[in-house]
Amino acid sequence: MYVGHFALGLLITSVAPSVPASAAIIGSTWLDLINGLSTMAGINTVAPNLSAGPFLFFDLVFIDWDHSLAMALVLSVVWAFFYSGRGAKAAAVAFVASFAHWLCDLPFHNLDLAAYPYSAAHYGWGWWGRFLTYAWLLEGAFSAVCVAAAYVLFARRGVDISRPAVVCAILFLNLSPWTSPMYYIAQAGHPADYLLHGAGVTLGFAIPGYIIVNMVNNAEDRAVRKDSAPKSPRALKRE
């Protein structure tokens, strides 16, 4: 899953206005930020497969150190620890957002999510392999619902998140079956394929994540400046 992680991150952010926006928005992508680095370092094994679709075009052969169930829990505790200084609620939101990443990946991944590193047991309902382009559309529908709900919840506090919503729409179209850079990266040859795959995953989450967090913070600040709007707890905390 790609854009869906940002969409759920926005939704979680919308229901936790006192928590820094990065806790859930970057938190939702935390496992994949690590995943791209692990892939570049050669800790993960990914294999080009042009029929794997719908936008990844790789088989995720070994991703146990960031996408096994046990490591998802461990890394989510680490992410929560980063926010523990902001209080128990911030840490809890960070944990939920990070672990929700694994739950969102579960239906789409093709049986490549181990129980723990090197375990024989693997999870993943295989929607990517079974539904291909429809899996991409399904993720788009999920994302649209999450962003729409977040939009309404933010709007109740006078915060307009239409800019991050547009970014999500662009991300959805950018990683389509027809426009995904991974299609070309899968054909780049060894070792460029896995190095570019890893860089693509990490940067593909880091750059939009940074932009979306800033857009949400700016939207909160604009809402605070409007006298008629209720004060935003997140923006007040950042002052």
Ligand X SMILES: *[C@@H]1O[C@H](CO)[C@@H](O)[C@H](O)[C@H]1NC(C)=O
Q: Residue numbers of the site for ligand X (CB under 6 A)?
A: 49, 51-52, 59, 110, 129
Give yes or no for residue 112 binding Zn ion (CB under 5 A): no
Q: How far is the CB of 59 from ligand X (least distance, A)?
A: 5
> Which 126-145 residues touch Zn ion, going by CB under 5 A?
none
Quick one: which segment of 47-55, 100-108, 115-123, 175-183 binds Zn ion (CB under 5 A)?
100-108
Quick one: which segment of 19-27, 31-39, 134-142, 144-152 binds Zn ion (CB under 5 A)?
31-39
| CB of 98 closer than 8 Å to CB of 75 | yes
Q: How far is the CB of 103 from ligand X (least distance, A)?
A: 21
Task: Compare residues 49 and 176 and give the one whose CB is closer to ligand X.
Answer: 49
Of 32, 64, 193, 220, the one binding Zn ion (CB under 5 A) is 32
What is the rounded end-to-end Cα distance, in angstroms, of the chain?
34
Nearest to residue 47, comparing CAs of 169, 213, 177, 185? 185
Q: How far is the CB of 85 from Zn ion (least distance, A)?
A: 26
- Nearest-CB residue to ligand X? 129
Exposure of 85 by Cβ count < 10 A (0-12 exposed, 13-18 middle, 19+ buried)?
Answer: exposed
| CB atoms closer than 10 angstroms to residue 11 | 24
DSSP state of 123: E
How many residues would you count in the chain? 239
Nearest to residue 202, comparing CAs of 68, 43, 31? 31
What distance in Å separates the CA atoms of residue 72 and residue 104, rounded to the nearest whole number? Answer: 12
Task: Compare residues 51 and 228 and give the one whose CB is closer to ligand X.
Answer: 51
Task: Compare residues 128 and 151 and give the one whose CB is closer to Zn ion.
Answer: 128
Which residues form the interface with Zn ion (CB under 5 A)? 32, 105
